[in-house]
Each structure stands twice: as structure tokens, then as C-alpha cells.
Amino acid sequence: MTEAKPDYSKGAAYINGEFVPIAEAKIPVGDWGFTHSDVTYDVVHVTDGGFFRLEDHLDRFHRSLDGYRLKPPVKRDQMREILGRCVALSGLRDAFVAMVSTRGVPRIYGSRDPEDCENTFIGYAVPWVDVIKPDVQARGAHLLVASVPRISQDSLDPTLKNYMWRDFTRGMYEARDKGFDTAILLDSEGYLTEGAGFNVFIVKGNSVLTPDRGSLRGITRLSVLDLCPELGLDGRVAPITFEDLMDADEVFTATTAGGVMPCARVNERIYGNDRPGPISQKLKDLYWQKHKEGWHMTPVNYADAENPFSVAA
């Protein structure tokens, strides 16, 4: 009797040195990643069978690892191969792919010394998800500036990926309660930061601006700034006040899980014709066009899961 092959169709994961279906990937309740949110991660997307800006995501993941003093048991080249294999095993042509490192379980249960923990590496690929649903992007997202301020960057460095989302979660519930799609947060001084899993941009005239504080150095954010000159736009990182936000011509958000996502309203302010603005739409179209042209794309060889980046015969 032959053993049934694992079903990776809903996603594949690498954990504890093994590849398993996503539903079988679990961490112990004693892992500090769970008990203390002592964990970092990064997310890269796969579109039409290719990773987008994989090396940039690995660079950022390693900055986060260094910032949190995490030392997973695999090297960068191994991480790349693991992520590729997760995608190849799943067969997913469009995927949300994560790399995660937790502090791990302390060797002495109950210890409060982070050096007592064995750090981990987890990778997984699951079907594509959009932070803002496609139908909402099409009509333009409605954003609420939440009353809760962003956690201070003096306490939690926003340029290092983390799962500390209490401020975002409170903001999202506030947005839901008031009939908005999602929330964006200001810092304690009233400057724009980011939203739950996405960067924010404003358009004013020929300028496309994104906050210089309280936000992740997003890879899609970088892509937008790279693309602006092709459209004759001045893309910059700059301080943005609430007043600047309200006075903007357009607003859009940007993330790995969704790309460039136009907005139509912030609070009670309606931009343009209450639809995605022309510059936001041009940037969105160019962003996906570039994917099709192979810009920063790394194809996956689905026929050889053990060598996912080999050239297909």
C-alpha cells in the first residue's frame, strides 16, 4: 500500500526542518513568538509564477533579524530555496509567501532570558490575498484617520517588521464601526504614518509623497518611488501632516499584498470624483505592467521543487 502524498494545494510550509501542508504548520505555546510577540517576518508575493523583488525582501528580513538579534538556523541562500520550494510544492501561480523567525521556546521553561531560546525559521506559501479587496480598490478605498495614535517609533522601530498590531487593530475596529474600509494612523505629533499592513501616499500636483516617519520601508513603496520618474512625477519621502492629507489631490496605499491601491475618501473628505484618481490609476497600471514585463521577477520552476530556481528545460 503506497502512502498518500501530502496535499499542498491550500499552501505549503517549512517548519522544524520539514515541508508540510500549511494546516500542519504549528508552533509550541511556549514559543516567545506567541507569548511575547518576539518574532519578525517578511512577506513577498508571487505573481504569474514569479517572485517580485525577492532579494529586496530578503535584505529587509535580514535587517529585521539583525535589529531584533534573532539568529535562525538557516542562511540566506537556504531561505531563498525554502521559499521557492514552498511555492513549487503548492503549485500556486499567485501566492502570498512569508518568512518568519521566532525567538523560540526557552530551554528552561519560564526563563526570562532571550538567550535561553532556540531561534526558529518558518517559511510558507498560501494563496494570494489582498489587504484591500479588489472591488474596494476599483471604487476607491474609504479610509478613516483613527483616533488611536501609532505606537511611538522611539519604543518600537517601524522599519523592522513585527506583529505588534494593537494600535492597528483598534484603528481597524474603529473604522469598521464608522463604516470605513480600513484605518490609517497619525503619530502623537499629528504626522501621517501608515495603515495596517500598507504604506500611504498623497498626490499633490506633480508630487507623490509618502511619510518619512512611523512607517515601514515598504518594497511596494520603493517600487512606487522607482516608477514615478517614468511618469514624470516627483516621488519623495517627506513629513506629511493631517492638513496635507486633507488638502491632497489624491490618496493611495501600497503593499506587497495588493500592490498600488487607490483611495477615494479619507474621513469625510472626498477626492476628485469619488473614484480612483488619474495618477493613482496610472501608477497602479504601470506597476502591474512591469510585473508582466519581468521587472524584478524571479521565475519559479514548478517542475523541480527541489531546485525551484533552476531553469526549466
pLDDT (tens digit per residue) in 69-90: 999 999 999 999 999 999 999 9
Would you put residue 103 in left (φ > 0), alpha (ψ -120 to 50) or beta? alpha
My answer on whether 168 and 84 are in the same domain is: no
Q: Which of 310, 173, 290 is nearest to 224 (CA)?
A: 290
User: How would you label 185-219 residue by residue, b for 16+ Cβ within 10 Å and e otherwise?
Assistant: bbbeeebbbbbbbbbbbbbeeebbbbbebbbbbbb
pLDDT score recorded for residue 176: 97
Where is the domain boundary, 110, 128, 146? 128
Assess whether 142 and 62 both reside in one domain.
Answer: no
Listed residue (70, 74, 56, 65) closest to 15, CA to CA:
74
Residue 269 inside a domain? The answer is: yes
Domain check: are 95 and 141 in the same one? no
Range of the domain at 273: 134-293
Residues 101 and 155 in one domain: no
- Decide if 200 is inside a domain: yes
State residue 4's pLDDT score: 76
Specify which residues 261 forms β-bridges with: 253
pLDDT < 70 regions, the chain:
1-3, 312-313
Answer whether residue 121 is part of any domain. yes
Q: Which of 107, 128, 149 marks a domain boundary? A: 128
Supply the CATH number for residue 46's domain. Answer: 3.30.470.10
For residue 162, what is its C-alpha cell?
513585527
**What pLDDT shows up at residue 312?**
60
Considering the domain boundaries, does residue 276 fall inside one? yes
Q: How many domains does the chain have?
A: 2
The pLDDT value given to residue 34: 95
pLDDT of residue 311: 75
* Residue 66 sits in the same domain as residue 39: yes
Residue 183 lies in a domain: yes
Whether 302 maps to a domain, the answer reads: no
Helices (H), 150-240: 166-177, 219-227
> Do residue 150 and residue 267 come from a single domain?
yes
**pLDDT recorded at residue 20:** 98
Last residue of a domain, one of 98, 128, 158: 128
Tell whether 278 and 150 lie within a shared domain.
yes
Helix, strand, or coil here: 93?
A: coil
